[in-house]
Amino acid sequence: MSELFSQAWNDPASAKIKYVDSRSAILYGVRALMSNNSVEFQVAYDGDFYRPMPTFMVETLMRDGWRRGLCLLAVNRCNESIDDYTKSINEEREKPSPDRKRIEMLEIRVNNIREKRLTFSNQL
């Protein structure tokens, strides 16, 4: 875990924060936190709030390294979002009176996420 924190801290793209008794490196909504010689990985939710990262995500980072692991996780999150929005689009289209503006908005979101996914994929 300390090697992974080191990768995070030394990544030039990571935002670094030093406190009196801890250090953090943040990239793509993931925070690597070292405090009292203990390392924890957290994932952002609802803006600037963080919760402990699920085990499978930490395992991905451990297996693939900081930057590649983050990109793999980001591509996965993009795929999940695309699936969710596509499902919502299809559900809206099946209604007797589909809301065309809602469908258009959801399609724009899907296209934006596809572009974001491509950005992460190109880093792999």
Task: Sketch the domain layout of the chain as residue ranges.
Answer: 2-119
pLDDT in single tens digits along all 124 residues of the chain: 899 999 999 999 999 999 999 999 999 999 999 998 899 999 988 777 899 999 999 999 999 999 999 999 999 999 999 999 999 999 999 999 999 999 999 999 999 999 999 999 999 8
The predicted pLDDT at position 37 comes to: 85
pTM of this prediction?
A: 0.84
Residue 32 makes CB contacts below 8 A (sequence gap 6+) with 4, 5, 8, 9, 14, 24, 25, 26, 39, 40, 41, 66
Determine phi and psi for 82, rounding to 5 degrees.
-60, -45
